[in-house]
Amino acid sequence: MKENPSQPVSWSCLLHCGEIAFAYTMPEHRRKGLSKVVITALTREVLKSNMTPYMAAKIENEVIQKLYKKIGFVEDNLDNDVL
């Protein structure tokens, strides 16, 4: 199957409150650094707006937690279900 250049392969949403949410990369495009690029770009947009960027992740989702930490997010322990 030929790839469609207009179809996104990695994305996330930026909510008005500064939360970066719903990060996802298509399985066949994982481990290429695409989520890091997307999340870093959205983080910069939040910072330009003089807001504090934040993300939440289920405790059991170790893959996304590792990525968030690699980008520079820190755990706040406000909720037992999320990072």
54 falls within a domain: yes
In the prediction, which pLDDT does 57 show? 84
Whether 3 maps to a domain, the answer reads no
Q: Which two tokens stand for residue 82?
A: 């999320």
- Residue 17 within any structural domain of the chain: yes
- For each of the chain's 83 residues, which pLDDT tens digit applies? 456 778 999 999 999 999 999 999 999 999 999 999 999 999 999 999 999 999 988 888 888 889 999 999 988 766 554 44
> Is 80 inside any structural domain?
no
User: Is 30 among the domain residues?
Assistant: yes
Domain enclosing residue 24, as ranges = 10-71
Q: Does any domain span residue 26?
A: yes
Tokens in use for 42? 């959205």
> Has residue 4 been placed in a domain?
no
pTM, two decimals, is 0.81
Q: What is the pLDDT of residue 82?
A: 47
Domain count, the chain: 1
